[in-house]
Chain A
Amino acid sequence: MSEIQQETIDQVEALAGKYEAGFVTDIETEKAPKGLSEDIVRFISAKKNEPEWMLEKRLKAYRQWLEMPEPEWAKLDIEPIDYQDSYYYAAPKDLADGPKTIDDVDPALLETYEKLGIPLREQEILAGVQERTPVAVDAVFDSVSVATTFKEKLREAGVIFCSISEAIQEHPELVKKYMGSVVPPGDNKHACLNSAVFTDGSFVYIPEGVRCPMELSTYFRINELNTGQFERTLIIADKGSYVSYLEGCTAPMRDENQLHAAIVELIALDDAEIKYSTVQNWYPGDFETGKGGIYNFVTKRGICEGRNSKISWTQVETGSAITWKYPSCILKGDNSQGEFYSVAITNGRQQADTGTKMIHIGKNTKSRIISKGISAGKSNNTYRGQVKINAGAEGARNFTVCDSLLIGDQCGAHTVPYIESKNKSASLEHEATTSKIGEDQLFYCMQRGLSEEEAIALIVNGFAREVMQELPMEFAVEAQKLVGISLEGSVG
């Protein structure tokens, strides 16, 4: 083995604690008893002071969940999950009785978010970003929303941005109408679990004709040991409105696997547009042994309900021990459009099975899928995507590109497209490539002064450029750095 390779291995060893978000916040927490039962479901609902109809929804989902099988079709090797060994509710003690003003929030929490680069005090946010528009943040810590910033400013524009718990209290008509309309509880076992035990998440409503004046974002953080996070996000864009929404996530380094089973539902009415971006950096588990890390089982789906509506998903997936995630679009309105831009990076022992579904129902509906998978270490990375053209979808069009990049010779990349068309006028294109990062490329960059790891980060960012450029500016730079960090130690 050459000197360069040995050195890289040494670096990897030195970087054993390199997952920068891996710290734990020491804070007093109120938890539900361990395990899952009807009582726990009732406990969560009671904690949130929920109306009876919400509790009924939860209990119905819980009973259904007991009967449902685990989804086993993905190319993932998952240890059986002991659902009784997890906590389903954990909240920082001073927040257990519901949200308060930012001044009541434990400084340790504010510090946590600051450390992660997300200040929650509005004056600090404003001080830090004078040159650009600030981003409104809903910060979810374990099971509860800690703070939502810029609520007032958004309210002036008619935009509702709050935690889902608050929305259940304040806007029950919208929640009743839309929650579960895109992802029903029986969709899959993970979504069903979420429907029973979801604890918090974000709610957004953009009224007719309004262009949301700032980027909205939610920052998810799992802190407690053995605690699952089950959040729900519901975004409704009324006629002719526009919103761009960002989601970020991190967790401490733990030896145990932690479950994250989320649901995101998007609804776009006539001429509305929703842009949803995710930078996912959950703890991926130990680099060498694969011990620990987050099981990321997420159901994300949007419906283009109205004519000329558009939903665009962009995701940069770098973390999690296991990623099981298929942000999808139901293109129901005529002329509606769905987009999916994805960069999925796996390293160490990570496994990802991710992709999208584009269901064409309306006439002249269009979808575009750009997927860039990067596999390194001993990881496995699968693109799984479905494009379905229903009989009534006259003139539907889809364009799919799926590119895989391999680093080293112990990782795997797989592409599993499902294409189904019931309308002769539809046009579908699918392109796929697989390549290896070249010794020639690495040497060329290194001769120009880049270290091997800098060279890999540069080459991979180039490979993923089409997707990265879809990210809002605020996220793009972070995401590029993250690509570099998550590929550290990928050669050797």
Chain B
Amino acid sequence: MITIKDLKANVETDDAKDGETSIEILKGLSLDIPEGEVHAIMGPNGSGKSTLSYVLAGREDYEVTGGSVKLDGEDLLELDPEERAAAGLFLAFQYPVEIPGVNMSTFLKTSINAIRKQRGEDELDALALLKLMKAKCAELGIKDDMMKRAVNVGFSGGEKKRNEVLQMAMLEPKFCVLDETDSGLDIDALKVVADGVNALRDPKRSFLIITHYQRLLDYIKPDVVHILANGQIIKSGGPELALELEKKGYAEFVGEAA
């Protein structure tokens, strides 16, 4: 499904040191997630977790200097962000962005049809979309009236994250990256979001879950856990690795690698 090989990336920075305008964050990261598997990446602050999600999604200001990323054999790094979305990559944002004046139903309609258009499929009409929205909202326990509100404007932390899961459900991606989806959520909201993600687990769909804490992994059981430190995967293992990490802290593992 997704194969990342020796990925190196710089991020542009404003505080230039010695004339450098960018610093290297990912320093040869390799990762392979087979179809249908859920992998978790855990790492301390500054280890490159969010950079990884942005690089995968193709954000500006992140410059790939080496390595490759392939989704079902297709070179993602060659594609624009919207083409990556059409190829089946979905990023659930750590901080979902507000778009004033654009209601959720318009946003979802524009998004789905933009992706369908890129794939050479017919656009969905308003009625078909409405039906789909209603069905997905019901599945995820989201009230319909959220569809009339402007995208993320005035949403609580929990609503924002549920909205990300709703979009994921509507767009039916092949590969989902969840960037610290647990941040800012209380335990109830966390459960709701985890249930949503679990409902989307599918033998044809892979997940990469980026998180600080083991807590989220109590609800979304990963197949493999990776530890990211200093821009590289330093250790991989089963779900028990997350528990071990929780007990010992990052310092021990980071030390181990160094």
Contacts and interface: CB of A to CB of B under 8 A. Distances in A.
Interface of A: 2-5, 7, 438-441, 443-452, 454, 458-459, 461-466
B100 A447 contact: no
Nearest to A448: B111
Interface stretch (B26-34, B89-97, B132-140, B199-207): B89-97
B97 A462 contact: no
Contacts of B59: 443
Given A4-B60, A4-B80, A449-B111, A461 B102 contact: yes
A346 B82 CA distance: 26
A462 B81 contact: no
Given A446-B82, A448-B107, 14 more contacts: A4-B60, A5-B60, A438-B97, A445-B99, A445-B111, A447-B85, A448-B85, A448-B111, A448-B167, A449-B114, A449-B115, A451-B114, A459-B102, A466-B101
A458 B85 contact: no
Nearest to B119: A449
Interface in B167-207: 167, 171
Contacts of A463: 100-101
Interface string B201-239: 000000000000000000000000000000000000000
A458 B102 contact: yes
B110 interface: yes
B144 interface: no
Nearest to A451: B82
B86 interface: yes
B85 A449 contact: yes
A2 B171 contact: no
B61 interface: yes
A10 to B, nearest CB: 12
How would you classify the secondary structure of chain A's contact residues: helix, strand, loop or mixed? Answer: helix
Contacts of A452: 82
A462 B96 contact: no
Residue among A4, A448, A451, A452 facing the most chain B CB atoms (10 A cut-off): A448
A448 B99 contact: no
Contacts of A462: 99-102, 150
Given A448-B167, A449-B114, A454-B110, A440 B85 contact: no
A448 B97 contact: no
A458 B97 CA distance: 14
Contacts of B110: 450, 454, 458
Contact of A446 (B80, B90, B106, B112): B80
Contacts of B57: 443, 447
Contacts of B118: 449
Nearest to A441: B97
Contacts of A443: 57, 59-60, 81, 97
Given A447-B57, A448-B167, A459 B99 contact: yes
Contacts of B111: 445, 448-450
Given A439-B60, A444-B93, A449-B115, A458 B81 contact: no
B59 to A, nearest CB: 5
Contacts of A448: 85, 107, 111, 114-115, 167, 171
Contacts of B84: 447
Given A447-B81, A451-B82, A454-B110, A441 B91 contact: no
Contacts of B102: 458-459, 461-462, 465
B25 to A, nearest CB: 17
A454 B100 CA distance: 16
Most buried by B among A445, A461, A464: A445
Interface string B58-85: 1111000000000000000000111011
A89 B52 CA distance: 65
Contact of A458 (B82, B96, B99): B99
27 contacts: A2-B60, A2-B61, A3-B80, A5-B60, A440-B97, A443-B60, A443-B81, A444-B97, A444-B99, A446-B80, A446-B81, A446-B85, A447-B82, A448-B114, A448-B167, A448-B171, A449-B86, A449-B171, A450-B110, A450-B111, A450-B114, A451-B114, A454-B110, A459-B102, A463-B100, A465-B101, A466-B101
Contacts of A454: 110, 114
B92 to A, nearest CB: 10
Interface in B112-147: 112, 114-115, 118
A440 B114 CA distance: 19
A444 B54 CA distance: 11
Contacts of B81: 4, 443, 446-447
The 10 closest A-B pairs by CB, nearest first: A462-B101, A462-B102, A449-B115, A465-B101, A448-B111, A446-B81, A444-B97, A449-B114, A449-B85, A450-B114
Contacts of A438: 97
A357 to B, nearest CB: 27
Contacts of B91: 447
Given A438-B97, A458-B99, A450 B60 contact: no
Contacts of B171: 448-449
A123 to B, nearest CB: 28
A456 to B, nearest CB: 12
A71 to B, nearest CB: 34
B22 to A, nearest CB: 12
Contacts of A7: 80
A40 B58 CA distance: 62
A446 to B, nearest CB: 4
A2 B95 CA distance: 24
B49 to A, nearest CB: 17
A445 B82 CA distance: 8
Nearest to A435: B100
Contacts of B82: 446-447, 449-452
Contacts of B95: 440
A405 to B, nearest CB: 10
Nearest to B110: A458
Nearest to B102: A462
Nearest to B108: A448
A431 to B, nearest CB: 14
Contacts of A465: 101-102
